[in-house]
Amino acid sequence: AQSVTQLGSHVSVSEGALVLLRCNYSSSVPPYLFWYVQYPNQGLQLLLKYTSAATLVKGINGFEAEFKKSETSFHLTKPSAHMSDAAEYFCAVSDPGNTGKLIFGQGTTLQVKP
């Protein structure tokens, strides 16, 4: 069965510092991987997705993620944090049966300090 683990339920960085949110996955087949962001009391917005093309994926708002098969990881990074990046971030893996189900990690809350 597929699963996603996000290491660290809360991450705190200073404005301008590097953002690193960790995601490890388990999948028996080549996965499709996603990062979503959620602002308070809102739905989820797609940041980026990996679908077996380039291993380094660039997304919106300056975020990027690198797919590393050997480490079964898909960590999200941003070189310089902005106050507006404070939100909850979810990593997800797509069910291989083409049902479209996404299996989500538990989420990481990013706090950005001035």
Partner 1 sequence: DGGITQSPKYLFRKEGQNVTLSCEQNLNHDAMYWYRQDPGQGLRLIYYSQIVNDFQKGDIAEGYSVSREKKESFPLTVTSAQKNPTAFYLCASRRQSSNEKLFFGSGTQLSVL
- Of 67-106, binders to partner 1 (CB under 8 A) are 90, 94-102, 104-106
Question: Is 12 one of the binding residues for partner 1 (CB under 8 A)?
Answer: no
Selected binder of partner 1 within 8, 9, 54, 113 (CB under 8 A): 9
Tokens linked to 28:
């028996």
Q: How far is the CB of 95 from partner 1 (least distance, A)?
A: 7
**Between residues 70 and 98, which has the closer beta carbon with respect to partner 1?**
98
Q: Among 108, 21, 8, which residue's Cα sits nearest to residue 64?
A: 21
**Between residues 17 and 22, which has the closer beta carbon with respect to partner 1?**
22
**CB under 8 Å to 33, separation ≥6 — which residues?**
23, 25, 49, 50, 65, 67, 74, 91, 92, 93, 94
Please report, as ranges, the residues that interact with partner 1 according to CB under 8 A.
Answer: 9, 32, 34, 36, 41-46, 49, 51, 90, 94-102, 104-107
